[in-house]
Amino acid sequence: MKTILTFFLLFISTFVISQCECTDCSIFLPSQQTVASQLDISGATNNTLGSGGQYVCQVCIEMNHDAIDEIDMILIAPDGSSVDLILNTGLSSSQDMTFEICFVSCDQTANPDSGFSAVFDSSEPWQSGQTYDGTYYPSDGCLEDLTGDVNGEWELEVTDHVFLDDGTLFDWYLVFTDDSGIGCANAGDCDVDVSCLAEGGELATSPIELCEGDPGLNIDIDPEFPNNNEPPTADFDYSWVIVNADTDVIEDISSDSDLTGYEPGNYLLCGFSFFINDEPLIPTPDGSLTVDDIQDDIDDEVYCADFSDDCVEISIDEMYLPPDFDGPLEVCADEVNQYTILDYDPDIEYLITFTGSITFFSGSEDVYDIAWNAGPAQICVIIESACGDVETCIDVDIINSPTDLEIIGDLEPCPGATENYTFEPEAGPGESYQVTISSGTIISQTDSSAEILWPEEEGTQEICIELIGGTCEGVPFCEDVEVELDFELPDDLGTPDEICEDDSAISLIEGDNSVIEYIWTVSNLDILSGQDTEELEYIGMNPGMASVCLEIITACGNQGPFCEDLEVLAKPDPEIQEIDPTCDLTLTLISTADPDNEIIWTLEDGPGNVDIDETDEPIIDVTFDEPGIYQFQIDESNGLCSESDQIIVEILDDLFISEPIFECNLNNQYTVTFIISNGILPYFVNGTEISGDTYTSDFIDSEESFEFEVSDFLGCANTIEDEFTCPCVSDAGTMNQEIISICIADESFVEAEWENDGILDGNDLGLFYLHDGEDDELENIFAINEIGEFEYDISFPLNTILFISYVVGNQDGSIIDLDDECLSVSVGQPVIFFGIPEIDIDAQNKTCENNITISGTYDEDLLDIKFRQIAGPGISTFSDNAGLPNSITVSEQGIYEYELEIENEACSSSQLFQVEFAVPPIISNITEECTPTADNYTVSFTIEGGVPPFIINSLDTLNGNIYESELIPTGTPYNIIITDADGCISNSVTGIKLCDCISSSGFLDNIQISACISEDSIIIDSVVNNMLDSDDIGRYYIHSNPSDVLGSVVQINESNVINHIPSIFLDSVYYVAYLVGNNINDSIDVTDPCFDISNSQPFIFYSIPNVDAGTDQSLCENQLNLAASPENGNWTVLSSPVNANFSFEDINDPASLFDFSLSGDYALQWQTSNGSC
């Protein structure tokens, strides 16, 4: 509230009504306690929050605290509605922070301190020792959420939740949008205008571009009111303002938005809301009226109206006629012609296009020059428009002068030649060719030909022709004429400077078709080939000088002869002396080469390595590393000519001695016989000449060594040495190889069969041996006798192949010396001693199945395993009746007896065993029963078969055969398995029961409700059509999600009354849903299968606006500059001197001028509203 006191002399008088500001501050704020400060407000004429534009638009506090994040600060209206200004969010200590801040309504713009959120958040990084003075939205909800009356007790409640840190509340005050009757000291700080409810809304439509007259220009747009601020239709009407965007002049104010009759141009279509009673005050368009004019009237409160927040941009495009375009229809190629736009308009943009091959184009605006050299040709002028392009095109015929001229004749004539030339195409009537040449003489000419004499000098000339006398000017055509010899004899025949006698060489020039004849002549040379060609081959004859000459004939005449000289050189003649075959590995090779020439010896072929001492001398020494045939070559060169010679040298092999042949006598002596070859007779052994090539020695004792030196006539030698042992005569002979198998239970001996074919010397003894190992190797010996018959002994290995062999060797008493070098062992007869077969059965003697697997261990040499049922109530089926493991399946449960028969190659045995196939328990007669609440159900059944007691699911023990389960939650599956006393397991029973739920959460109204924070609570419509079972409770859940899925829950109530708490932010939409479910400690069990949740109803607690009318003043003038806040609001005069006249420059302007006629006290009020508070 603002009070103004005026006198004729200046003095200051203060009159403040402070019932909106704290009267009991400052207040200590102790830790872990709740402190409240109250205001009593009365006299409000606009008393209902949320009605008539009245609400709290600002709450300002001044406080200091050490831990801002540990407190809740709640503003409570007289009706109990509340808004959470600050919510506790954590712990801190010793921050010593000062807050001189205001909480503003959500319809205003908050200006928080730099770096902080607009919604006050106590968890943000507030700095110790700092002072904050920004404006904020409440932590939860809006000031507009407060409801009820303005008049009454208002309370600011502060709760500290943590010990130690405390604070001080220095001051706090409220600002209402309309403080009429209460005169709050700080009224006028709310930017709310309640005097005019006109609202143009938002059009939110993209720019429109259409052609003139288009039906789409009859525009249908509905304004949008996203802030739910559409003015009441009973008092306000809506029209459209059509503005010329180029001149800013209003064309029309109309109830419709039809621009189909408007001329091309740019327009703005703006929404216009106005108070119906003020319609006569609104001016009509007069050709100069602008939007600014109307806005000035609105700002001056001449009438109540409002433009839309945005206007639609509309472009109406003109529809053009095809342009009038003129120019020639027939032109010569490459001739520049002009085309003109006859109805040219400089305000229209024209596009010129053309087709055909052009050689020139130029022009602008209405005139264009163009030349073509080929068609088809066309030139067009186009006017592009959003309403469709229009064009005018001219088709042009191109008349071509002949450009493909051709000169037919010899363009490479000989010097001084006369040539005839013809020209194409042939000249037409009135046409002829104009001929020019760069040099020479035109002897004669017709319209299409000419005869020309070219100069005697070689060079490049030019002939040009031009067809004249036609419709279009001709284009000259020229050709270069090369006047030159058709071929010129070169001055280089490629002849070598030297040639060896009898060697060939060539002379040549590059061939050319212009040469008619080649004429070659030579001296001291013999032509081999190439006469009358471009290449001549010849050989040198006698040492000395020679020459090659060439003359040619072409169409231009004879040239030459041209000659070149060369020298014929003599060749060297090396010759190597022959060498006879030899055994020597070192030889001398002699040649006739001239030591002054270049000499090179090389080995051309041979089996081994050869060392040549000097390779560049006429006579050399060579050394061989092995016999064989070698080929050497000598090359001799005098610089140009070279010659070579070769020689074959044979180095004989050493004498060859054959493999020796040994002959023994009965005296244990032997002779050596061998054959000598590869040598020249006679041969010598140990220096003694022998007859022929075969040598036999005298007798040598067995095991004594020998050595013989052998040579031939040429001295080639070799040596043979060795030793020999005469062989033994002892032989054990042959045993029968048929295997003998015997069971030790049936017979006790075996008898081997010997073929009686052994050989014994005078010292030998023959015996039969029973042994193992390979068939003729004595490893372990088990028995020895003379007759070959062996009785089983326990030391004999069973089921193992043994051998009976006949053994011959030197007698050592009554046995044989097994170390005798001539010991002989026959290949033994195989024999096996088989033991009685055994098997170790591994099998259960009792099973709950109708099958069982029999396994076991047994000897690997078993030949047969057989099972046989001896007794039992049913029939047994064997999976494998001849092996293990073996599966036995019975046709019915009971006790069965079986016999197992086994045998090996020689013995057999049997074994009896018994198996009980027990009957497992079976679950039958299964029933499922739901409880009356349908939350749970039970399962019961009967057990058939099996042996009690029974174990249910490995947990419960049952002695009888009837079972009922514990309670199972509805919708929960069950799985039951029974094990009897024998360990037999029943069939598995699985199921699930869904009991029909009777619980229902019902329905809530979907319409959003709201309240001002001053009302402290909101009452929603009670839930309808809900139903609870005997275990259920129902609760109202306040949460943050618009769907039937709960968001963040902030409050749970038993009733439909929603009290405002700090966690409900003001000016934010929340939702209430009704939940039904089982009661668990007075809370709803959300896991209850019959749990149900209703739809959610939205609601909002609005915050109270904050208003400041400025400071009280005293002045002498009759005019005052006011300064209120916020910006939106209206001024009223609460009291004034009697008979005083006064006026506001703008009743809605917080900075309006206030004029008055009389001195005295004036009480002024600035009032604002956020729509609810």
Scanning 685-764, the segments in alpha helix (DSSP H) are none
Please give the pLDDT value at position 71. Answer: 92
Q: Which of 773, 730, 767 is nearest to 752 (CA)?
A: 767
Residue of higher predicted confidence among 387 and 157? 157
CA 964 to chain centre: 59
Residue 748 pLDDT exceeds 90: no
3-class DSSP state of 151? coil
Strand partners, 566: 546
CB 548 within 8 A of CB 536: yes
Q: What is the pLDDT of residues 1040-1050, one digit of tens each?
A: 888 778 888 88
336: number of Cβ within 10 Å = 14
DSSP, residue by residue, 1040-1062: S-SSSS--S--EEESSSEEE--T
Residue 363 pLDDT exceeds 70: yes
> pLDDT band for position 539 (50/70/90)?
very high
Please give the pLDDT value at position 1171. Answer: 63
Question: What is the C-alpha to C-alpha distance for residues 463 and 407, in angstroms, rounded to an integer?
Answer: 9
Average pLDDT over residues 842-865: 77
Residue 104 pLDDT exceeds 80: yes
Residue of higher predicted confidence among 287 and 881? 287
Domain residue spans of the chain: 2-14+1111-1167, 27-176, 208-317, 325-399, 413-483, 498-569, 586-651, 656-715, 740-834, 839-917, 922-984
Average pLDDT over residues 119-136: 91
Phi (first) and psi of residue 826, to 5 degrees: -75, 160
CB 758 within 8 A of CB 733: yes
DSSP, residue by residue, 67-128: -GGGEEEEEE-TTB-EEEEE----------EEEEEEEE-TTS---PPTTS-SB--TTS-PPT
CATH code of the domain made up of 839-917: 2.60.40.10
Question: Which pairs count as long-range contacts for 521-526, CB under 8 Å and 24+ apart, including other chains?
Answer: 521/548, 521/549, 521/551, 521/561, 522/546, 522/547, 522/548, 522/549, 523/547, 524/568, 525/568
Scanning 96-247, the segments in alpha helix (DSSP H) are none
DSSP, residue by residue, 511-535: --TTEEEEEEEEESEEEEE-TTSSE
Average pLDDT over residues 15-32: 78
Q: What is the pLDDT of residues 234-263, one digit of tens each?
A: 788 999 999 999 999 999 999 898 999 899
- The mean predicted confidence, pLDDT, of the chain is 86
Residue 928 pLDDT exceeds 90: no
3-class DSSP state of 272? strand
Q: Which pair of tokens denotes residue 934?
A: 């349908």
Q: Which of 799, 773, 801, 794 is nearest to 861 (CA)?
A: 799
Residue 550 pLDDT exceeds 90: yes
CB 966 within 8 A of CB 997: no
Buried b vs exposed e over 226-256: b needs ≥16 C-beta within 10 Å?
A: eeeeebeeeebbbbbbbbbeeeebbbbbeee
Please give the pLDDT value at position 136. Answer: 94
> pLDDT band for position 108 (50/70/90)?
confident
CATH code of the domain made up of 27-176: 2.60.120
Question: What is the C-alpha to C-alpha distance for residues 1059 and 140, in angstroms, rounded to an integer?
Answer: 13
- List strand residue ranges (DSSP E) for 787-860, in order: 789-791, 801-812, 815-816, 824-825, 829-834, 839-842, 846-847, 851-858
Distances, alpha carbon 625 to alpha carbons 44, 583, 606, 608, 610, in Å: 140, 12, 11, 6, 7
> pLDDT band for position 151 (50/70/90)?
very high
Q: What is the pLDDT of residues 770-827, one digit of tens each?
A: 999 877 788 899 999 988 888 888 888 988 889 999 998 888 888 898 888 888 899 9
3-class DSSP state of 1115? strand
> Which residues, in sequence order, are CB contacts of 596 under 8 Å at separation 6+?
none
Average pLDDT over residues 878-891: 79
DSSP, residue by residue, 378-429: EEEEEE--TT--EEEEEEEEEEPPP---EEES-SSPPTT-EEEEEEESPP-T
Which of 710-714, 846-850, 861-865 comes out lowest in average pLDDT? 861-865
Question: What is the C-alpha to C-alpha distance for residues 640 and 660, in angstroms, rounded to an integer?
Answer: 62
CATH architecture under which domain 586-651 falls = Sandwich (2.60)
> pLDDT band for position 520 (50/70/90)?
very high
Same fold, 325-399 and 586-651: yes
Please give the pLDDT value at position 881. Answer: 66
> pLDDT band for position 403 (50/70/90)?
low
Distances, alpha carbon 20 to alpha carbons 60, 102, 141, 1106, in Å: 11, 14, 22, 10
CATH topology of domain 325-399: Immunoglobulin-like (2.60.40)
Q: What is the pLDDT of residues 330-355, one digit of tens each?
A: 888 888 889 999 999 888 888 999 89
Question: What is the C-alpha to C-alpha distance for residues 994 and 215, in angstroms, rounded to an integer?
Answer: 63
CB 245 within 8 A of CB 290: no
Question: What is the C-alpha to C-alpha distance for residues 1161 and 1138, in angstroms, rounded to an integer?
Answer: 10
CATH of 498-569 given 1.10.238.10, 2.60.120.10, 2.60.40.10, 3.30.230.10: 2.60.40.10
Residue 661 pLDDT exceeds 90: yes
3-class DSSP state of 294? helix
* Percentage of the chain modeled with pLDDT above 70: 95
> pLDDT band for position 564 (50/70/90)?
very high
Question: What is the C-alpha to C-alpha distance for residues 417 and 642, in angstroms, rounded to an integer?
Answer: 55
Question: What is the C-alpha to C-alpha distance for residues 389 and 198, in angstroms, rounded to an integer?
Answer: 45
Question: What is the C-alpha to C-alpha distance for residues 748 and 790, in angstroms, rounded to an integer?
Answer: 8
Scanning 771-852, the segments in alpha helix (DSSP H) are none
Q: Which of 588, 567, 565, 564 is nearest to 577 (CA)?
A: 588
Strand partners, 447: none
> pLDDT band for position 746 (50/70/90)?
low
Pairing of strands 1153-1156, 1142-1144: antiparallel
Q: What is the pLDDT of residues 578-596, one digit of tens each?
A: 988 888 888 999 998 888 8
Q: Which of 602, 618, 600, 619 is nearest to 610 (CA)?
A: 602
> Which residues, in sequence order, are CB contacts of 1031 under 8 Å at separation 6+?
933, 935, 1078, 1079
Query: What single-letter DSSP state applies at residue 621?
Result: E
CATH topology of domain 413-483: Immunoglobulin-like (2.60.40)
Strand partners, 979: 951, 985
CB 149 within 8 A of CB 40: no
DSSP tally for the chain: helices H, then strands E: 1, 92
Is the overall model pTM greater than 0.85, yes or no? no
Average pLDDT over residues 25-29: 91
Query: What single-letter DSSP state applies at residue 683?
Result: P
Please give the pLDDT value at position 191. Answer: 54
Question: What is the C-alpha to C-alpha distance for residues 214 and 243, in angstroms, rounded to an integer?
Answer: 19
CB 451 within 8 A of CB 440: no
